[in-house]
Chain A
Amino acid sequence: MWGLSAVSEEDRLDRVQTLKVLRRAYSMARSQRRLILSSLAFVLVGTLVTLAGPTLVRFAIDNGIKVKDGSALNRVVVLYVIVTVIGYISGRLQYITINRAGEGFLRELRINVFDKLQKQSMSYFDREKAGVLVSRMTADIESMAELIQFGLLQFVSAFLLLCLATILLFVMSWQLSLVALLVLPVLIIASIRFQRTSNHAYLDVREKVGNNLSTLQEGITGVRVIQAYGQETNRSERFRQSNRALFDSHMYSVKISTWYFGLVEFAGIAATGAIIGFGGWLVHRGSVSIGTVTAFVLLLANLFDPVQQLSQLYNTVQSSTAALHKLIGIIDAVPDVAEVDEPTQLPERGAIVVDNVTFGYAGSERPALSDVSISVADGERLALVGPTGAGKSTLAKLMARLYDPSTVNGIAGSVSFGGVDLRLASMADLRRRIIVVPQEGFCFGGTIRENIRIARPEATDAEVEQALQSIGALHRFTDFAEGLETEVRERGSRLSAGERQLIALARAALVDPAVLVLDEATSNLDPGTEAVVEHALETLMTGRTVIVVAHRLTTVRRADRIGVIDHGSLVELGSHDELVALGGRYAALADAWQRSQPSH
């Protein structure tokens, strides 16, 4: 059942790492320790009950049946009943405790990993692939859930059973034990070999499944091109090839398991035969009792099943520790934009001063910004322009402390608001003063109201409506059948692009910050909405310090000053008229913009 969990070579941890991960897991599960210990106790009880059955049968045969002592037999039967009931109760408790412990552990893990992820700075998210981060929180944690729900219990109990059964057999008869254990090494070697080859086979199946699904998807999404060029038959043939490759891969893994399971079945029965033969001979010589031979026959299963289970669980345990290892990586990563312990209070308003800032993205050789200094007065409107990749967005983000300035030769520049270095302020305080409104108008699942309230969770309903009203967009949403309670659906697909932008602006209005950092939208709106968004934006900007990454001439014209960024440097700074008079880069850019405007 859990055979399909396979672990690839690059994910496989060595013994030292595995131990480290397991120790860490144990310390992470501290709050569950009591539950874990009690579930282990129940596992132990369960194992003892399993072994008690054959032992009791042996006692009943030797001390009751063979000596024709009916009352001794009855006493054993009563004991058997008691033991069985204990087994049942401890079995139930075992499931409950292990699942409570496991699910509690996973719950904490989910919350912790997510919190750690969110503490990471913007540059972390620029660096890591979104898909990978999501799969950490989903696939990796779920692979551990599988271990907890099925594997962990079996692993411990199989191990206990194997050890205790072996001891019990030796206590009853060492000679017969040797016979039983003759078969065991064959089984163990076969199991280890099976585990190794099946791991490869499963990895191959997984790869082929992935390929086949991609080919399938390609066919479905590309169906229009395929039909347009009459390639249906050809593509079906291609799919058949990948489908057959998957079939072959499946059959290869079946082939491996087929001989293994056949061997296991044979070994179990052959061992029974050997016990009967050799045990009978020992009975004839008087060295063991008939009850012992019976107990051995009944106990054999308890010796064989654990070996099989352990070998199959091995892969599950490996892939789970590999997953946990990756999660620990996230938990241990130190966020590069961290908060100070004793933050300084930011003033209500003030100038933003960028002082000698250099910034480079991790893994990129050339800094995105170098030695930039600029100051924006309280209430001033600054537009940043420049070619794609010049660094204008980066500068805007630094002003809002989405990134911290890089340290070059031991010196890092600074960004301050009202004379306080942003690194000394608390994030909560900072986000009441300086807000970044991203261009795309991203929406989360939930209602319109919830989407706006994300900016200030404690805001009342009236305040949310007030925020919409202040940018003149309230009616646009209250006109919906469900008003502000309208579900925006995945990614806000229920709303138009313009409506999503209005929500983004309403969020900012709700916070009512001193400084707005805007990344101007490049997407196109229909002319009607465009005007509403323009108006909302203008209202929002009034009376605030604004730093806007501009893409349109109209926006730039409305700015007090314009900063031209090129190759990570501030190359020109001044008002529109000044810069046009200067005849430099801005003048050229403004000219190009002018020409590309639709002629009326």
Chain B
Amino acid sequence: MTVTSETQQDDTRQGWRLLRLALGQQRGGLAIGVVVGLFWAVGKVSVPQLTKMGIDRGIEGSGNLFFWAGLVVAAGVIAGLFTAMRRWYAFRESRWIETRLREQIFSHLLKLHVGYHDKMQTGQLMSRASSDLQQLQAFVVMIPITLSNLAMLIAVVALLIVSQPMLAMFALAPLPIVNVMASRFSRQIHPAVLAVQQEQAQLATVVEESVSGVRVIKGFGAEQVQARKLKTEADDIWNVSLVAAKIRSKFLPALDLLPSIGLIAVLGIGGHRVINGQMTVGDLVKFNAYITMLIWPLRNLAMTVALAQRASVALIRVDEVLSTPSLVIDPLSPTSLPTPTDDRPVGEVIFDDTVFAYEGASPIINHFSVTIQPGQAIALVGATGSGKSTVVRLLTRFHDVQQGSIRLDGIDVRQLTLNDLRTAVGIVFEETFLFHDSVADNIAFSRPDATAEVIERAARLAGAHDFIMELPDGYQTILGERGYSLSGGQRQRIAIARAIVSDPRVLVLDDATSAVDPSKEHEIREAMATVMKGRTTIVIAHRPGTIALADTVILLDEGRAVAVGTHEGLLASNERYRQVLAAWEVRESDGDDDEVTH
């Protein structure tokens, strides 16, 4: 127990420290916001005082009525002007903090090693950069507003006490309770609101599974079962919503009631003092106005405290991301790759006794050694889990080997800058990731400055030019999740064109044809053969036709190269090789999909 509370305390302290740091970087803008807010407070505070003067001197007395009325209007100009400015600065600074940190998170995430991304869920990382930052923004925007409200509060209390100490005591007495109640309210309503959201999410799950599982439901006539589940969830929402409503009903009317007690005290006590000549009608109005004026700032104050707590917790989560160092980084003094010359071709890859295990697992690469000559094409063949894809991930330093080394043209990959290494090694992944960009931009992904000619040449080589020309906007057609969707084969051809543009000295084709209909595979294969020409290539494959693209086949089993040879040679001599290929074949013996294509 003590341990938890201590770590909690540490967390809290850490949260506040981070908050101070984040705010410190924007102290200029925030300071302007606060100063502007102080001017607003001056205008605002002067209104009831001027109103009192107007009533006492202008109406009840013989002073110049219109002078005082004019001053009230002038105070209105000041209050109006500065409340607008306060709002502007408050929002500008808070949005700016949010914007700035979001960019930091994004660029940091892109630099973090792949192992980190393997471990984290996309949704979690997304909420670091969205909802957590919104919590921070919601607090920061309140800073200038709350500080100037606080200044107004102090000024008003001082003014009241100076002018009528007794009355001020009675009138102000209920107000601290407003503050206490408001903070208790936000403490209690927050979990209730979260509970409602949680129940809503559960109902959404039932709806979602009922819609996607509609075949099962219709097939078994199970509508009633789902209807009962939904009813349970709807009842749950009803329950927790009413709990939240009860909390609101407990606090909100009471928060309205409390200031009224102050107002009644002003009328009761103040009224008699006016009758006794100890104060004026103007004072009465002034007190009334001031007390009404304090209600919102007091409620706000409590809300801001709650917001600050939430913001610091959110910031801890954000900091967890930002303070995670990338485990795969550039060397301090990088070496550069040798430039190709006529007598020395480049693209030699050596895996030297490499060992690698994913976190908490036994080694998936186990003393793997292989030498690939410049311009040689090798095929990696192995069962699922044999480590084929990991080999490639090690070559591009998605992960670093734990033993042994990988050398590219004689240089340890860890001695190269990541940029040099990854420019030298190009990968065509099993599944092509298309960005929400034009076809041309997707092809020119590695070289955004590539000319239209370069892009088109790459597309032609990859056999993609013809279908691209048939797209609605040709090379300018927008792809990606929200854009035009392509077939598996088309996507793969875009990926190959992408690799051609990047012109790497080592090309990796990671199961690049698996997403392609077998009957179309030969077309992709031709494109692949074009790109491979004269280039060191590692092909991960299991279809004989694709394996045939390589000169040498390496059979991988439990992270080791267990056999090396030609496809025919291994087929004839190696039982394990035959087994692995047969297993793949069984998996693919079926290709027909369900229909309903209309």
Contact = CB atoms under 8 A, between A and B. Distances in A.
Contacts of A445: 205-206, 209
A333 interface: no
A219 B260 contact: no
A265 interface: yes
10 contacts: A216-B106, A220-B126, A230-B446, A274-B69, A390-B595, A392-B595, A394-B595, A444-B209, A444-B216, A457-B222
A442 B215 contact: yes
Contact of A272 (B47, B211, B292): B47
Interface string A488-528: 00110000000000001001000100000101001010010
A134 B73 contact: no
A428 B221 CA distance: 7
A39 to B, nearest CB: 12
Interface of B: 43, 47, 51, 54-55, 58-60, 65-66, 68-73, 75-77, 79-81, 83-85, 87-88, 91-92, 95-96, 99, 102-103, 106-107, 109-112, 114, 117, 122, 125-126, 129-130, 200, 203-228, 230-231, 234-235, 237-238, 241-242, 244-246, 248-250, 252-254, 256-257, 260-261, 263-264, 267-268, 271-272, 274-275, 281, 284-285, 288-289, 292, 396, 398, 418-419, 422-423, 425-427, 429, 433, 435-436, 445-446, 448, 480-482, 498, 502, 582, 585-598
Top 9 nearest A-B pairs by Cβ distance? A266-B80, A262-B84, A91-B253, A431-B221, A277-B69, A269-B76, A436-B219, A273-B72, A99-B245
Nearest to A234: B448
A393 B245 contact: no
A84 B258 CA distance: 10
A568 to B, nearest CB: 11
Nearest to B111: A232
Nearest to A259: B84
Contacts of A254: 87-88, 91-92, 95
B257 A87 contact: yes
Nearest to A69: B275
Contacts of B582: 598
Contact of B429 (A224, A233, A388): A224
A272 B51 contact: yes
Specify which of B68, B92, B220, B237 lies most central, judged by the most chain A CB atoms within 10 Å of its CB: B220
A455 interface: yes
A262 B446 contact: no
Contacts of A70: 272, 275
B230 A111 contact: yes
A480 interface: no
A157 to B, nearest CB: 12
Contacts of B498: 229
Contacts of A247: 95-96, 99
B434 to A, nearest CB: 9
B65 A290 contact: no
A88 B249 CA distance: 10
Given A130-B211, A243-B103, A400-B219, A220 B109 contact: yes
A53 interface: yes
Contacts of A274: 69, 73
Contacts of A64: 271, 275
Contacts of B285: 294, 297-298
A280 B595 contact: no
B80 A73 contact: no
B241 A297 contact: no
Contacts of A440: 215
Interface string A257-285: 11101111111111011101111110110
- Please classify the interface of chain A as helix (H, G, I), strand (E, B), loop, or mixed, using the class held by over half of its residues: helix
A88 B256 contact: yes
B249 A95 contact: yes
B46 to A, nearest CB: 10
Given A70-B275, A214-B436, A228-B426, 20 more contacts: A92-B253, A134-B204, A134-B211, A137-B203, A149-B241, A215-B436, A222-B435, A223-B112, A224-B433, A239-B107, A258-B85, A269-B75, A269-B80, A276-B55, A276-B65, A277-B70, A298-B292, A388-B592, A388-B593, A394-B596
A439 interface: yes
A470 B241 CA distance: 46
Nearest to A390: B595
Nearest to B597: A389
Interface stretch (A102-110, A169-177, A192-200, A370-378): A102-110
Contact of B422 (A73, A230, A392): A230
Contacts of A29: none
B245 to A, nearest CB: 3
B87 A218 contact: no
Interface in A446-502: 453-457, 490-491
A418 B256 CA distance: 72
Of the candidates A92, A220, A438, the one having the most CB atoms from chain B within 10 angstroms of its own CB is A220
Q: What is the size category of the interface that chain A forms with chain B?
A: 35 or more
A95 B253 contact: yes
Residue picked from A223, A391, A400, A596, most chain B C-beta under 10 Å: A223
A301 interface: yes
B332 to A, nearest CB: 19
A276 B58 contact: yes
A167 interface: no
Contacts of B210: 114, 117-118
A14 interface: no
A236 B224 contact: no
Contacts of B594: 388, 393, 439, 519, 522
Nearest to B397: A227
Nearest to A99: B245
A387 B272 CA distance: 97
Contacts of A507: 216, 220
B109 A219 contact: yes
B72 A276 contact: yes
Contacts of B427: 228
A454 B99 contact: no
A393 B596 contact: yes
Contacts of A122: 214-215, 218
A23 interface: no
Contact of B590 (A84, A125, A219, A524): A524
Interface stretch (A5-13, A75-83, A316-324, A344-352): A75-83
Contacts of A428: 221
Given A214-B436, A229-B502, A138 B200 contact: yes
A91 B256 contact: yes
A53 B249 contact: no
A224 B211 CA distance: 33
Given A110-B230, A290-B59, A293-B55, A65 B275 contact: yes
Contacts of B263: 53, 80
Interface stretch (A306-314, A360-368, A405-413): A360-368
B245 A527 contact: no
A519 B594 CA distance: 8
Nearest to A262: B84
Contacts of A517: 219
A387 B595 CA distance: 9
A440 B593 CA distance: 12
Interface string A162-189: 0000000000000000000000000000
A573 interface: no
Contacts of B245: 95-96, 99-100, 103, 149
Contacts of B596: 126, 361, 389, 393-394
A115 B227 CA distance: 7
A366 B583 CA distance: 41
Nearest to B106: A239
Contact of B222 (A246, A273, A455): A455
B241 A246 contact: no
B394 to A, nearest CB: 13
B99 A266 contact: no
A142 interface: yes
A213 interface: yes
Given A225-B429, A269-B80, A216 B220 contact: no
A597 interface: yes
